[in-house]
Amino acid sequence: MRVALFGGSFDPPHAGHVALASAAADAFALDLVLVAPVGKQPLKLGIQSESFADRMAMVGLACAGDPRLVASDLDRPRADGAPNFTVDTLETMRREFPEAELFALIGADAYLGMEHWKEPARLFELAQWIVATRPGFVLAPLGIAPAGRVHWLETVHVDVSATGVRERLHQGLDCEGLIPSSVLEYIDSHRLYR
Ligand code: ATP
């Protein structure tokens, strides 16, 4: 079994996230992609976001079109209030899927920052990383990544960011095509991003 972690803020989940996850599942024959909203993102502390429960619900809706994608609470807020680190999430995944080949999905922008994450060497031991193109960012090798533990996914070309979507929602602009319509309905009915 080939299982991938796809972590992020997903505030809200958008067309770029869905495209990345489905394209990775196609290209690398992934059986399961755990799309896991982060409880508390260590590098974005202090940034206001919608609640974990709302982001989980929206991720569930965004995953509904592809049976390989599943919303996961693996990265839920910790009881002690500490930030969530991907290395700990992957260690948990390793225990939950002891027989699986583990992957982690990431966009080119986030990949460039990985050397600042907790225990980078361990991150590449625990999983093979699938790094996707993102408009405006280059796919550049990182010195810290050991050979054979990083794969490029060059078929993702969706110029959408959660920041851009939040701005449009805030201004009352149309977001059709930028986020799944079910997510948009959830946002409207729960009055999020006002
Ligand atoms: P924000 O604008 O709030 O920083 P974001 O759009 O980057 O958010 P995140 O939830 O932070 O979304 O991203 C989760 C993961 O998805 C990261 O690895 C990021 O690189 C990747 N990703 C997000 N949008 C795209 C996109 N349009 N193309 C490729 N990868 C993406």
**Structure-block tokens of residue 180:** 């799944």
CA 155–ligand 1 middle distance (angstroms) = 15
Specify the long-range contacts of residues 120-125, CB closer than 8 Å, at least 24 apart. 120/144, 121/146, 122/87, 123/86, 123/87, 123/90, 124/149, 124/150, 125/149
What is the topology classification, in CATH, of domain 2-159?
Answer: Rossmann fold (3.40.50)
| Domain locations in the chain as residue ranges | 2-159
CA 7–ligand 1 middle distance (angstroms) = 9
The answer on pLDDT for 36 being more than 90 is yes
Mean pLDDT of the chain: 95
CA 17–ligand 1 middle distance (angstroms) = 7
How many percent of the chain have pLDDT more than 90? 89
Atom of ligand 1 nearest to the CA of 165: 2
- For 52-108, how does the pLDDT look when each residue is reduced to its tens digit (9 = 90+)? 999 999 999 999 999 999 999 999 999 999 999 999 999 999 999 999 999 999 999
- Residues with CB under 6 Å of ligand 1 are 8-11, 16-17, 20, 106-107, 109-110, 132, 134, 156, 158, 160-163
pLDDT of residue 142: 87
**Other Cβ atoms within 10 Å of 117 Cβ, number:** 16
CA atoms within 13 A on the CB side of 191: 0
Interface predicted TM-score of the whole assembly (ipTM), two decimals: 0.98
The answer on pLDDT for 47 being more than 80 is no
**CB 145, CB 124: distance < 8 Å:** yes
Q: What type of residue is 46?
A: G
Q: What pTM does this model have?
A: 0.97
Cα–Cα separations (whole angstroms), residue 115 to 38, 143, 144, 185:
19, 9, 7, 37
Say if strands 128-132 and 101-107 run parallel, antiparallel, or are unpaired. parallel
